[in-house]
Structure formats: structure tokens, C-alpha cells
Amino acid sequence: MGALIPIVSLLAVVALGLIVVRIGSVALKFTGLSYELARFQALSAFLGVGFTTQESEEVLEHPVRRRIIRVLMLLGNAGFVAAISSIIPVFITASDRAETFVTKMLVLVSGLVLVWVISISKWIENWMSRAIGWALKHWTRLDVYDYHGLLQLGMGYSVSELKVEPNAWVAGRNLADLRLGDEGVQVLAIRRSDGEFVGTPTGGTYIRRGDTLILYGKAGQLAELDGRQAGEEGDKAHRQRVEEMRGNNGEMEPDQRAAPRECPV
């Protein structure tokens, strides 16, 4: 029986490795990946076989995914190297008879088949995934949202900063007057020149010269707004953008609204 201890140890390491991969898969899924892609990346990291270029970018651009992959790589390298090192002496003992060698092989193969059957069981997979998901949500501070994917930043949309210059079209007006949402731009936050941070600006929030706006929208629209100057040309550009948005959304022309009010800065 003593000769079988390394085999049992190897099977335990393999089973533990499958559990670690399953935990990594669920954790990666929480960051916004599909479960199939999360499982593939977790297994690839644990075995150290690498990813394709696109999948590597999806991991590297997300700080939480990088941490998960790093842990999987460390555990995979350490665990399997130690397990393989422990099993080699079992099969190279010169004093073993042929019957003993066959017995060892049968035990090893049977154990691996059992572990494999358990690993592909849908019932066990669903049960483990629910249990792991519950544990990760309650006992970790995992950032479960993939903001890059949620905001479609790879599909033409962008989050960028706009420094409000003295002659900028947005300077000296409040958000309700600017109606940036009508032209497809959302103001996520404002950083004042004195360091104050306005994380949830409302319609009554005024834009001052020297502020930095954090905006979300189409990249081309944000670039145009960044260069838009105060005056009639700026107002005309705004009206054109609003008409384009209404045309794209199939909306009817609204009644003429009051001209934007300016405020002292």
C-alpha cells in the first residue's frame, strides 16, 4: 500500500486542480466573460499553455482578470510539477515485479478516469458553480463588472476628458441648457479646477472655465465637442448634432426650445 500513496497523492492534486480551475472560471465569468471563454482561459492559465492574441488582450486590459490569471498560473505550475515529481519514483523502482507495475498502472488509470467522469458531470458542474459563485460574492471583494464591455468601448464609444478652455462652447452654462444628451454625449463627472470632484452632475450643474469634464459617447462626437467654440458656430454645430441624433433614432422634430442661458463664471 505504501507504493500507492504517491498515486493517490497525484489523483488528489489532479482533483484539486480541477476545483481550482472551476473557481477561476466562475471568477472570470464574474468579470463579464462568457462561461465557455472563462473556462478556457482558466484552464489555459492553470496548464500554462497560453492564449490567442485577442483573448490575451481581453485578460490584460482588465486588472481583476490579470490577478485571477496570475494566481492560476502560479498554482498550476507549483501543483503539477510537485505531483509529477512525486509519481516518477513509483514507476522506476527496479525491484518491482511486472504484476506490481500493472497494478499501479491500473490504479492510476482508474483514478484518472474517475476524476475525469466527475469533472464532466453537468450536475456536479452546476452545483459547484453555484457554490463557488456564492462563496466569491460573500467572501471576496471581486469587481464583478467588465466596464469596458458594458460601455462598448471597443465598438466606437469612448470615455474621455474634456478640458474646458475659456472660449469653449460648454463654458458658463449648466447641463440642462447644454442638452448634451440630445446629441449623444453623457457627462459622467466633473473635476473642478480647485480639485473638487462632482461625481453625479445634474441638470443644474454649471460648467466653469478650467473644469475637466469626463464624457461618454461616440469617439468622433467627443472629439468634435472638444474643439467646439462658443458663439453662433458652436450653437449651429450643436443643432446639427441633435438633428443627426433624432434622425438616427427616428424621432419627430420637437418644438423650438428656448436658447441656452449663460451664467457668470
Task: Choose the final residue of a domain: 101, 117, 148.
Answer: 148
Q: Are residues 163 and 144 in the same domain?
A: no
The pLDDT of residue 85 is above 80: no
Q: Which amino acid is at 50?
A: G
Average of per-residue pLDDT across 39-49: 80
pTM of the model: 0.47
The enclosing domain of 230 has a CATH number of: 3.30.70.1450
pLDDT of residue 247: 77
Q: Are residues 91 and 12 in the same domain?
A: yes
- Which range, of 54-63, 85-94, 108-117, 164-173, averages the lowest pLDDT? 85-94
Q: Are residues 134 and 80 in the same domain?
A: yes
Structural domain containing residue 25? 2-148
pLDDT of residue 205: 92
Percent with pLDDT over 90 in the chain: 17
